[in-house]
Structure 1
Amino acid sequence: MANQQSSNLESSLWNAADVLRGKMDASEYKNYLLGLIFYRFLSIKSLQAFAESTDIQDQDIQMIKDAYEKYLSAEDDTSKFIYNSLLSKVGYYIEPKYLYSNLIAEINSGDFELENLEKALHELEVSTNGQTSQQDFEGLFDDVDLHSNKLGGNLRQRNQVISDTMLALNDIDLLGHNGDVLGDAYEYLIAQFASDSGKKAGEFYTPRQVSDIISQIVTYKRNAGDNQIRTIYDPAVGSGSLLLNVGQHVQDPSLIQYHGQELNTTTYNLARMNLMLHNVSYEDMDLRNGDTLDKDWPVEEPYQFDAVVMNPPYSAHWDNSNERLSDPRFRDYGVLPPKSKADYAFLLHGLYHLKENGTMGIVLPHGVLFRGAKEGKIRQKLIEDNRIDAIIGLPANIFHSTSIPTLIMVLKKDKDNSDIMFIDASREFEKGKNQNNITPDNIAKIVKTYKEHQDVNKYAHVASYDEIKENDFNLNIPRYVDTFEPEPDIDIDEVKNNIKDLDAQIAQVQKDFDAMAADLVETDVKSDDKK
C-alpha cells in the first residue's frame, strides 16, 4: 500500500512540474516547485498541530481550517495562547489568510496576486506581532523568485504561471500520506531534477542505495541501550538524504540530533526542507550554510559525533595555504592535501569530528587509494594510526553527477584489530537506463561481508598491516582482491574436429549451390518480346 501511495504521489508531483518546464532550466524550476510543495506541507502541518492542541483533532480538515481561522483571527487570550503553542510545537506560525488553501481560494475566485504569496512566504520568518520565528526558517524561500522574467514578461503572466503551478500541486492529497512517503517523494523529485539538469546538478543527492550501505555500516552494533547513536554529522550535507537515511536505521530515530554544513545556499535550504518534511523537529537539527574546509565547524559542543557520513565533491579545489598546518584538523599529518584535490581534506575534517567510539563512512574517488606525494603521506599516517577500517569499491555510473567508479571508506578511531577489509563490489549491479543500480541483494552482500570480516573468493579480502606495508601503503583494491577470471583451457583436438565439421558443411553447401545453378535455364528476353 505504501509503495502504491508513493508511486502515485511521485507521478503527481512530476506532472505538476509541466507548468514550469520549458520556461527555465531544471536547476531553476525545481526551486519553485519544491518551495511551493514545502509551503503547502507547512500549511497542512500547521493545521494538524493546531488540531492536536485543541479538542477538534478528530474533525475533518475543513472544520479544522474553519476553527483555525476563527480562533487565530480573534485578538484575545485564546488567540495568543494558540499562537505561542504553535511556535513552541512546530517553530513557526502561518496567518489564516496565508494558508495555502486560502491562497488557492483566491486563485479560484480570480483575486490572487503574487504579492499575497510573497507576504505569505515572508510571514514564516517574522510573525504578526514582530517576533522572529525559529532561525531554521530564515531564508528558506530565497530561491523562489516571484519577480523573475522567466516566469513571464509581465505581472499578469507571472501571476498566471504561479497560479497554475499552485493549482497543480493542490491536486495532490498530502494528507493521505504519512511523512515518510512524502519525504520519499521529495527525494525522488530531487533525483529526477538532478538527472534532468545534468552536469553537477546531482552533487547534492546521494543515491539511496549508497546511503543504505553507509547507514547500515555506521549503525552496526550501535542499536542497543546507551550505545545507540544519538548524533550524526554530515559536513557536506547536500539535500540531507544521507543524514536521514542513517536516522532511519537506528532503533529510536526520535533520539537523533542531525548536524550538517553545506556550501551551496540553495542546497542548504533543500536540506532544511527535507529534514522538516521527514518530521525532524527544528530542535533536533543544527544545519549551517558555510564552507566546511575554509573554517572549521562546529567548534562548540557538540563538536564530535557518534556517526560522521559524507559524500563530498570529488577532487575539489581548496585553499591549502601553509597556515592551515596549525589547524587541529590537519596538524597531526604534517602535510596538507594538494590544492587541486581536497578529498583528504574532507576526510580529515570528518575524522576530527568523530567520537572515539564512532564510525565514519565517506564516498571518495579511487585516486585516494594510490596517489602519492602529500596524499601518500596522509594515507600512510592514517594506516599507521589504525584509522581505516574498510574500503568498499562501488560500481561505475551510479551517481547523477559522475560516471566514474567510487568507493566507500569506513574509518574508526578505536578499532579492535589492525587490518583493513577490502570489498570489491564494482562488478555486481543492475544496469539501468541512465545509471547503474545497486540492488537490495547487492547491498545485503556488501553489508554481510563487512560484518563477517572474512575473505570471500574474488570479492573480499582482510589485509594485515604487514601486507599493506609490503605494498608501500598503496590501498588500490586490485592489489588485495583478485577478481581475475582465467580463460577456459582450449581443447585443440576439439577445435580441429570442429574445423573438419565446418569444412564438410561448407563443401556440402557448395555442392548444393552448384546443383541449383545447373538447373537454371537461360531466357532470351528479346525473343520473348517478339512473340
Structure 2
Amino acid sequence: MAQKNSKTLYQALWNSADILRSKMDANEYKSYLLGLVFYKYLSDKMLYHAADLLEEKVSDLNEAQKVYSEAYQDLDIKDDLLENLQYDFSYTLEPNLTFTALVQRIYKGTFQLEDLAQGFRDIEQSHEIFENLFEDVDLYSKKLGSTPQKQNQTISDVMKELATLELAHEGDALGDAYEYLIGQFASDSGKKAGEFYTPQPVSQLMTRIVLHGKENQKGFSVYDPTMGSGSLLLNAKKYSNEPGTILYFGQELNTSTYNLARMNMILHGVDMSNQFLHNSDTLDQDWPTEEPTNFDGVLMNPPYSAKWSAEKGFLDDPRFSMYGVLAPKSKADFAFLLHGYYHLKDTGVMAIVLPHGVLFRGNAEGKIRKILLENGAIDTVIGLPANIFFNTSIPTTVIILKKNRSSKDVLFIDASSGFEKAKNQNLLKEEHIEKILQTYIKREDVEKYAHVADFEEIKENDFNLNIPRYVDTFEEEEEISLTELSMEMVETQKEIQKAETELFSLFNELHGTNEEADKELQQFMKALGIGGETNE
C-alpha cells in the first residue's frame, strides 16, 4: 500500500478516537475503537468474500451488502453460502448485522445499540477463537453518555467516522495501522501502557537478533510468555522470508490485553492454525506443557520487578529447580527470565528486556546469575538508553540467552547514549539499531561501546554484569590552556566595560516626569556610580 494511503488510514483511525477522547482516558477508549475497527474488518472481509463466492463483481461495500442480502433471502443459495463463509472465516453475520447495514441504519435514524451488541455476540459464538473477544466493549457504559440516546449517538458517531475506511483490502497495512493505534494509546496512557506495548524500535532490535541467520527457516516457532498486545511476536513476520509459516505462541495474564493480541493476530493475517494464545498467569502455571514446549525464538518484555508468590513448591518446578533458589517475592525478573529460557530450544535464541538491577543485585538473584554464567547461558548484555519505554523512564537492558554454547564469554554493548531526543521520550532510530545489531553479529571490542569479556574476567568481577565494569565510556575533559583562558577573560572584561559605558550614557539621558521622580532617579544613578547631579 502506498505511504500516502497509509497516512490517510492512520489519520482516519486517529480522528475516530477524537469522539471518545473527551469522555474517558486512552486506556478505556482503546477497547471501543479497536473493537469497532475489528468488527468492521470482519464484516467487510465477509461481505466482499460473499460477493466473490456468488461470482458477483462489486465496486464497494454497499453493492456487496446488496448482493449478500439478496442471496441470504434465496433459500436455494443461502445454506451453501453460509457454509462456505463459515469454513473460510470461522464466522458469519446476518445481513442486517454487518457494519455496513448498521451504518445505513444510523443515517436513517433507526440504529439500535442492541443490533451491534447482537453482532458482537454472533461473532463470539461462531468459533472458539473469537470467544469473549468483545467483552471489553461496554456499549451501555455511562461514560459514552448519561442516557441510552446519548450512548447510541456516541457509538453512531464513531461508526460513521470508521465507515469511510476500506479495511478489507488493506492487508498487513491495517495490522500496522492497528499497531500504530496501540502505540498511540500507549503513549497517551503513559504508565498504564507498559502492560500491553513494547515500542517498535526495541521490538525490532530484539526480533532481528532472535531471527538472525534463521530468516529462511520454514516453521520458525516464536514464544512470548508476557505477550501484551502481541506486537513483539508479530515482528517476526517482518524479518522472516517465510512469514506464512511462522508459529506464534503467546501467553498474557490481563484478559483485555489478551483480547487485543487475538485481534492483532487476525488483523495481521495470521492463519488460525498458526496462532496458539493463552490467557493465564505465566509464572503461576507453566504453559505450554504439551508439545511443542520449546521454541526457536523467545521474545519477552515482562513487567519490571513485579511481585510473585515465590512459594517453596516452585523449587521442584523444572523451570526453576536447577538453580536451588527462587527469584525474590518482590522482584520476579529472574523468574520470568528462567521461564522463557526453559522454553528455549537448544538451537534457539532468547531476547528479554529487564531493568539493570538483574545485572548486579546479589543474594538469590546473584546465585541464579552465577549458574547461568557458569552454564554459558548469557550470550550478550545490551544497555539501552533511558526513557525509551512508555511506562518507565529507567534505563533497561536487553539480555540475549542461548543454550549449548561452546564459550562462556559475554558480549557487553553500551548503547545508552545512542538515541534521538524527542518531546516526551528518547527514540532509538534505525542507525542506532543497526549499530547494535552489527556489533552483536561481529562480536568484537569497540572502544567505548562494546567489549567481549571472557569467563575469567566475569569471575574476577564476582559475576557482576554491570555494564560500566566492562565498557569504559569515560571521556577525559580537554586540557585548558591558561594563556588562552586569560586572553578570553581580558576580552570579556573589555566587552563588559564597553556595555557599561553605553548603558551609563543612556541613563544620563533619562529625566524624571516631575521633581520627585527626578530626585529618585538621580539617587538611583548615584548608587550605581553613574555621574549625575542630585538636587540636594
TM-score (norm 1): 0.92
Aligned partner of 1:187 in structure 2 is 179
Quickly say closer, same or farther: Cα 1:504–1:25, change in 2 above 3 A: closer
Match of 1:101 in 2: 100
Shift in Å at residue 466 of structure 1? 0.9
Whichever residue aligns with residue 279 of structure 2, its letter is N
The 1:520–1:160 alpha-carbon spacing in structure 2 relative to 1, beyond 3 Å, is closer
User: Contact (CA 8 Å) 1:390, 1:411: kept in 2 or not?
Assistant: yes
> Which amino acid in 2 is paired with 1:349?
H
**Matched residue pairs, number?**
517
Aligned AA for 2:487? Answer: N
Give the one of 325, 339, 345 matched to 1:335: 325
Deviates more, 1:373-382 or 1:412-421: 412-421
Letter matched to residue 217 of structure 1: I
Return the match for 1:136 from 129, 137, 160: 129
1:500 shift after superposition: 3.9
* Shift, 1:183, TM fit: 1.3
CA distance in 1, matches of 2:351, 2:452: 18
Contact 1:203 1:400 survives alignment (8 Å): no
Deviations 1:282-322 (A, max 9, x none): 22111111100110011001111111101110000001010
CA contact (8 A) 2:102 2:116 kept: yes
* CA deviation after TM superposition for structure 1 residue 194, in Å: 1.9
Trace 1:14-163 onto structure 2 (pairs within 5 A): 14-56=14-56, 60-76=60-76, 78-126=77-125, 133-163=126-156
Q: TM-score w.r.t. structure 2 length?
A: 0.91
Rounded to whole Å, the distance in 2 between the matches of 1:161 and 1:508 is 67
Partner of 2:349: 359
Residue in structure 1 matching 2:411, options 403, 418, 421: 421
Which of 316, 338, 343 pairs up with 1:326?
316
Relative to structure 2, which stretch is displaced further, 83-92 or 115-124? 83-92
Distance 1:107 1:506 in 2: 73
Describe the SS at the equivalent of 2:75. Answer: coil
Shift of 1:228: 4.4
Which residue identity is paired with 2:231?
S
Alignment match of 1:376 (pick from 361, 366, 369): 366
Secondary structure, aligned partner of 2:422: coil
For residue 421 of structure 2, give the secondary structure of its aligned residue in structure 1.
coil
Match of 2:297 in 1: 307
CA 493–31 in structure 1, closer or farther in 2 if over 3 Å, else same: same
**AA in 1 matched with 2:258:** Y
Q: Which amino acid aligns with 2:390?
A: H
Aligned counterpart in structure 1 of residue 193 of structure 2, from 181, 198, 201: 201
Question: Aligned in 2, Cα 1:242/1:511: closer, same or farther, shift over 3 Å?
Answer: closer
CA distance in 1, matches of 2:514, 2:387: 65
Q: Secondary structure at the match of 1:200?
A: helix
CA distance in 1, matches of 2:73, 2:338: 53
Separation (CA, whole Å) in 1 of partners of 2:511 and 2:149 = 83
Aligned residue in 2 for 1:463: 453
Deviation, 1:243, is: 0.5
In 1, the alpha carbon distance for the partners of 2:453 and 2:10 equals: 45
Give the corresponding residue for 2:261: 271
Q: Which amino acid aligns with 2:213?
A: K
Query: Which amino acid is 1:148 matched to?
Result: S
Contact 2:27 2:192 in 1 (8 A): no
Mapping for residues 348-497 of structure 1, pairs under 5 Å: 348-497=338-487
Residue 211 (structure 1) shift: 0.7
Distance 1:466 1:157, change over 3 A: same
Q: Deviations over 1:35-92 (max 9, x none)?
A: 111100010111233344443367554443333223334334x433322222222221
Secondary structure at the counterpart of residue 244 of structure 1: helix
Contact kept in structure 2, 1:209 and 1:443, CA below 8 Å? yes
Render the CA deviation track for 1:312-371: whole Å, top value 9, x for unaligned. Answer: 100000010100100011001110000010011111110111111011111110000000
| Counterparts of 2:236 and 2:101, CA distance in 1 | 37
Deviations 1:441-498, CA, capped at 9 Å, x for gaps? 1111111111111111111111111111111100011111111111001222322333
Looking at structure 1, the residues matched to 135 and 503 of structure 2 have their Cα atoms a distance apart, in angstroms, of 79
Query: Structure 1 residues 333, 111: closer, same or farther in 2, change over 3 A?
Result: same
RMSD: 2.4
- Distance in structure 2 (CA, Å) of the matches to 1:513 and 1:163: 67
User: For residues 58 and 498 of structure 1, do their structure 2 counterparts lie closer, same or farther at Cα, with a shift above 3 Å needed?
Assistant: same
Name the counterpart of 2:7.
7
Distance 1:406 1:262 in 2: 22
Contact 2:219 2:247 in 1 (8 A): no
CA distance in 2, matches of 1:519, 1:62: 81
Counterpart residue number, 2:534? none
Counterpart residue number, 1:169? 162
Say whether residues 1:238 and 2:228 are aligned partners. yes
Q: Distance in 2 between matches of 1:496 and 1:229?
A: 71
Matched position secondary structure for 2:264? helix
Shift of 1:521: 11
1:328–1:494 Cα change, 3 Å: same
Counterpart contact for 1:422–1:463, Cα < 8 Å: yes
8 A Cα contact 1:73 1:96, kept in partner: no
Q: Secondary structure at the match of 2:18?
A: helix
Where 1:198 maps in the other structure, the secondary structure is helix
Closer, same or farther: CA 51–494 of 1 in aligned 2, 3 Å: same
Q: Is the 8 A contact 2:65 2:100 kept in 1?
A: no
Question: Quick one: structure 1 residues 386 and 364, their matched pair in 2 at CA, closer, same or farther if it must change by over 3 Å?
Answer: same
Q: What is the DSSP-based 3-state SS (H/G/I as helix, E as strand, rest coil) of the residue aligned with 2:297?
A: strand
Aligned CA distance change for structure 1 residues 494 and 28 (closer, same or farther; 3 Å): same
Deviations 1:222-256 (A, max 9, x none): 123xx445211110010111111122211110001
339-348 or 42-51: bigger deviation: 42-51
Provide structure 2 residue ranges, at least 5 long, that are not aligned to the other structure: 519-536
Question: 3-state SS of the aligned residue for 1:313?
Answer: coil
Contact 1:2 1:181 in 2 (8 A): no
Instruction: Give, in angstroms, the shift of residue 151 of structure 1.
Output: 1.7
Q: Structure 2 counterpart of 1:208, which letter?
A: Q
Which of 212, 220, 227 aligns to 2:204? It is 212
Identity %: 52
Shift of 1:266: 0.5
Q: What letter matches 1:470 in structure 2?
A: E
